[in-house]
Structure 1
Amino acid sequence: MAKKIFIKVLLITFWCGVGFTQSSPAELYYKNGRVQKGFAKILIEVESHNKKFHETGYVQFKETKKSKSILIRLKRLDKVRILRRGKVITYEILKAYGEGDSFKAMKLLEKGKVNLYEYETKGVPGLTGNSNSVLPAPTGLASSICVLRDGEEMATRLTRNSAFSNNFREAAAYYFRDCSELVDRFKKGKYGKRNILEAVKFYNDSCQGQ
């Protein structure tokens, strides 16, 4: 009996993968218009105990704290709203250039003509921690900063973008090339990864129509 209990605990541990430490009150918005309320957390990676099953892009959800958790694929969802520490955090489900066909739960940091997002993936050597992050990332995770204009179907990464040799300021200057004043600020070093939120707010407030 003890052995069976141990195996079940081990299976659950690996299936949780990498994500938030506990479920929080949440609302799931499906692509078909359905809204489901309960408790959820974003899973960055899901893996079975024997490593025969491995995927990314899930939400672990349960309707009540006592009910059994289920896994919901991100591709079925438009967004997830999670209440954490008294604040509602919105995650929009999007694809990013350079990430293949996988959907990412992107944390919305700024909404406007250009939206600013951050999402996390399992860390790889040289990209873990908070080196590319607007906010500190948990150890072993890599954060990517993305932007998305109205009308664009996929987000563009400003960090870890091989098209610009992973140079953040070059990628940002190219993306915001329709605003010469903002491009100049990136080139002169006034804006960078740490204050990209301020840069996007500047674009949304001052650069439309240029």
Structure 2
Amino acid sequence: MKYLFFLTCTVVLLATTCTQAQLTTAILTYKDGKQLIGLGKIRASGKIKFKKTKKDKAQNYSFDSITRATVYEPYGMVHYVRRKVSGTGNYAIVELVKQGKVTLYRTYDRSYRTMRSEPDQFGNGFVMSGSAPIKNYYVQKEGEPAITHFGSNQLFSKNFKKTAAAYFEDCPVLVQKIQDKVYRKRDLKAILTFYIDECAVDTE
């Protein structure tokens, strides 16, 4: 039974690894608006592995020459951009999640271990372990030169309420909702919508 369970996990892991290793439909957009269509993926280094056709040899492209990389991921087409991270002086390659007067970004980093206890067919308890991606969230108001890190989905992440209260201090009603836990970290999209609808100043 244990051998079967181990074999199943191994097959799933290998299948997942093979899928992640494949290049999928990708579009590179240059600063002058020119686009390059082909196959690619975002590498851990932040560069884009890309080739025009399956027969071509893949090359690495950096965000020094392009403004955006659009890559087909299992959950849909994703726009990747490079942004400076506030308070660090560093740059990050981030996914564009929601764009507007306040834009939401995220990154997927290395996985963390998850564990849970489930009974087997004989009623005995055992622990299953797996992994889940670490999602880091960032926001950026119009006109801001850098993105602000709002924490991650890790168990021990930065104080979301404190960060959000400071960032949205120009919207007291929203800050109060965050302090009262009406809005939590998982409600970032709703928080941005509320801020735009109720507090964002139209500078046009």
1:76 and 2:65 are equivalent in the alignment: yes
Alpha-carbon shift at residue 39 of structure 1 (Å):
1.1
Q: Is the 8 A contact 1:95 1:155 kept in 2?
A: yes
Question: What per-residue deviation string (whole Å, max 9, x for no partner) do you get for residues 155-182 of structure 1?
Answer: 110116xxxx810111011111111111
* Cα separation, 1, equivalents of 2:69 and 2:87: 23
Q: How many residues align?
A: 165
1:176 and 2:182 are equivalent in the alignment: no
Change (3 A) 1:203 1:21: farther
Structure 1 unaligned spans of 5+: 1-18, 45-55, 131-137
TM-score, scaled to structure 2: 0.70
Task: Provide the residue aligned with 1:153 in structure 2.
Answer: 145
Decide which structure has the larger Cα Rg and report it.
2
Question: What per-residue deviation string (whole Å, max 9, x for no partner) do you get for residues 124-169 of structure 1?
Answer: xxxx369xxxxxxx94753210001111121110116xxxx81011
Task: Provide the residue aligned with 1:194 in structure 2.
Answer: 186
Q: Is the 8 A contact 1:93 1:105 kept in 2?
A: yes
Task: Provide the residue aligned with 2:81 in structure 1.
Answer: 92
Give aligned-pair identity as a percent: 29
Q: How does 1:118-137 map to 2 (within 5 A)?
A: 118-122=106-110, 128=112
Change (3 A) 1:197 1:92: same
* Cα separation, 1, equivalents of 2:58 and 2:133: 24
- Given residue 68 of structure 1, which amino acid in structure 2 is its aligned partner? K
Per chain length, whose mean CA-contact separation is higher, i.e. which structure has more relative contact order (CA < 8 Å, sep 6+)? Answer: 1
* Cα separation, 1, equivalents of 2:23 and 2:41: 5
- Given residue 113 of structure 1, which amino acid in structure 2 is its aligned partner? K
Task: Provide the residue aligned with 2:135 in structure 1.
Answer: 143
Alpha-carbon shift at residue 188 of structure 1 (Å):
0.6
1:64 and 2:53 are equivalent in the alignment: yes
Secondary structure, aligned partner of 2:183: coil
Q: Is the 8 A contact 1:110 1:201 kept in 2?
A: no
Structure 2 unaligned spans of 5+: 1-18, 115-129
More strand by share: 2
Alpha-carbon shift at residue 20 of structure 1 (Å):
4.3
* Cα separation, 1, equivalents of 2:67 and 2:40: 15
- Given residue 31 of structure 1, which amino acid in structure 2 is its aligned partner? K
* Cα separation, 2, equivalents of 1:168 and 1:86: 26
